[in-house]
Amino acid sequence: MTQQNIEKITVTDFMGIEGTIELFPTGSLQIIAGPNGSGKSSFIHALEECFDPQGTRLIPNPVNNKANRARVEILLTDGRIVREYPKDGPGVLSAYALDGAKYPSGKEFVADITGGVLFDPNDFVKLSDKEQRQMLLSKVTLPFDLAEIDAKRKGFFDSRTDVTRKKGEAAARLKGAAPADATVPTEEVSAGALVKELDAIREHNAEVDQKAAACAAAADSLAEITERGKELAAALAQAKADYKTAADLAADLADAAEAAKRKSPDAVTEQLASIDETNAKVRAQAARAAIAAELADRTAEEAALNASMADIDKTKADGLAAADFPAGLSLGDDSILFDGVPFKQLNTARQDSIAFDLATSGDPKLKIVVMKSGNDLDDVSLAEVRKLAEERGYFVVMERISGTSESVGFSVQIPVSA
C-alpha cells in the first residue's frame, strides 16, 4: 500500500456533535478551534476512535443524545475507515477499498497504516516514567528482543536468589559444624576389627609362652641326659646321639624363643576403649566435609549466575548504547532522559516539543498526530510544530480553545436546529 493521506473527515451525531461535520484537511497543521462546548473535543475523540482498533478509549456515550446512531468516516488516498455506533453497544470498525471492497479486518487495516498506535504527544507527557520508557523503546530497533532478554535475566536473578539463600544456609551449617581436625581418621573405626586384632595379639603371645616353656623343658632334658651320660658310660654312643639330637632341638628352640617377642595390646585396647568417641569425630568431620563441598558448589553456582547476568547486562547496555533514539532522548535506569536530564524534570513546553518530535519520528503509511494540548503552545511553538510536521510529512490535528490565525485553523461549527 502506498503512502496514505486523509482527504476528508466526516463526523455525524458523535458525542457533543449534533448533525454532520465535514473537514477537508489541507496543509500539515489543522487546528480544531472553538469555545468550550462547541464540539471540538468530540471531533478529536471521533478521529481517535477510528485509529484506535482496540477501542481502549472506551467512550461511554458515543451517540449524541438527540440521535439513535453515530458515524465517523475517514476518506484516505486509497481507502475508507468507518466506525459506526448503535445507541446501545460498542462501535464497529470497518475498512474499505475505494472500489467498495471491504477489508477482512478493520483493526488490521488501521494497525497496518498507523504502525499500530495513534500518537498523542500530550498523552505521552502524562505517561509514567516506565510507560514513557517502553514507548521510547518501541521507536528504536534493537539487536535483541528486550522483553526476551529481560525475562532471561529475571530467570538468572531468581535462580541466583535461590542459590544465594542455599549458600547462606550451607555457610551457617558449616559454622555450626565440628571444627576441622586432621588427626581424626577419614573412616569410622570398626570394633570387630579391633577385637580381632586383639585376639591375634593374645594368640601370638600364647605361642611365645609355649615356645619359652618348650625351651625350658629342653634345657632340663639336656641336663638330665648329660647326667645320665656320666652315669651310663656303657651307653655312651647312644647318649652322644641323644645328646646331639637334644642339643640341636634346644638350639632351634632357643633361636625361636629369642626371635619371638611379645606384643603390647595397650594401643589396641586404648583404641577399643575410645572407639565411640573416635567414630563420633569421624562422622562430624564427614558432615563438615559435605557441608563445605555444598558451600563450594553454591559459591561456584552463584558466581556462574552472576557472570550470566553480567553478560546479559552488557549485551543490553551495548545494544541500548548503540541504538539511535529519536528526539535527542536516551534511556536512564528507570526513566527517559533528554541531554542527561530526566524528562519529567523539563518544563511543560519543552516536554511537549520533545514529545511531538518523538511522535513524528516514525515512518508509517499514514502520518498523523493528534494534539489535545494546543492551548499550551504559543505562536512560536505552534510555528515549530507546523515546520517539523512539514519537514517530516506529517498531518497534525490540534485542539485549541481559539485559533490565532485563519490560515491554520478550522472552527468547528455546530449546525443550528430547525
What CATH number is associated with residue 69? Answer: 3.40.50.300
Edge to edge, what strands does the sheet with 341-342 contain?
A: 329-331, 336-338, 341-342
For residues 231 and 297, state if they share a domain. Answer: yes
Q: Are strands 6-12 and 69-76 parallel, antiparallel or unpaired?
A: antiparallel
Domain coverage including residue 379: 6-116+364-411
Same domain, yes or no, for 298 and 160? Answer: yes
Work out the widest C-alpha separation in the chain, in whole angstroms.
179
Per the domain annotation, does 121 fall within a domain?
no
DSSP 8-class letter at 7: E
Question: Are residues 109 and 29 located together in one domain of the fold?
Answer: yes
371 part of a folded domain: yes
In whole angstroms, give the CA distance from residue 71 to residue 14.
Answer: 7
Domain check: are 297 and 212 in the same one? yes
Residue 351 belongs to a domain: no
Q: What is the pLDDT of residue 229?
A: 64
For position 57, what pLDDT does the model report?
52
Number of domains in the chain: 2
Amino acid residing at 32: I
Residue 261 in domain:
yes
Please tell me what DSSP assigns to residue 139: T
- Joined together, the cell numbers standing for residue 398 give 490540534
Residues 179, 93 within the same domain? no
Q: Does one domain contain both 153 and 41?
A: no
Q: Given this model, what pLDDT does residue 332 score?
A: 82
For the CA atoms of the chain, what is the radius of gyration? 51
Residue 84 near residue 8 (C-beta atoms within 8 A):
no
Do 67 and 194 share a structural domain? no
- Give a yes or no: residue 101 inside a domain: yes
**pLDDT computed for residue 239 by the predictor:** 66
Element (H, E) at 95: strand 92-96
Q: CB of 39 within 8 A of CB of 114?
A: no
131 assigned to some structural domain: no
For residue range 12-69, what is the model confidence (pLDDT) as tens digits? 999 989 899 998 888 888 888 877 777 888 898 899 888 875 654 567 788 999 999 9
Q: Is residue 71 part of a domain?
A: yes
> Which residue, 291, 323, 355, sits at the end of a domain?
323
* CA 39 – CA 42 distance, rounded (Å): 5
Distances (CA, A) of 28 to 4, 55, 113, 391, 407: 14, 27, 18, 9, 11
- Looking at 323, 338, 355, the residue that finishes a domain is 323
Smallest CA-to-CA distance from 267 within 205, 209, 197, 208 is with: 197
Each residue of 201-222: pLDDT tens digit? Answer: 888 888 888 888 888 888 888 8
Is position 402 within any domain?
yes
pLDDT of residue 58: 60
Distance, in Å, from the CA atom of 365 to the CA atom of 166, rounded to the nearest integer, reads 55
pTM equals 0.59
Instruction: Point out the residues of the chain with pLDDT beneath 70.
Output: 1, 53-58, 117-119, 229, 232-236, 239, 402-418
Regarding whether 308 and 178 lie in a shared domain, the answer is: yes
Which residue, of 272, 305, 323, is where some domain finishes? 323
Same-domain pairing of 40 and 96: yes
* One domain, residues 308 and 191: yes
Task: Assess whether 77 and 185 both reside in one domain.
Answer: no
The verdict on 230 and 269 lying in the same domain is: yes
Residues contacting residue 312 through CB under 8 Å, at least 6 positions apart: 149, 152, 153, 156
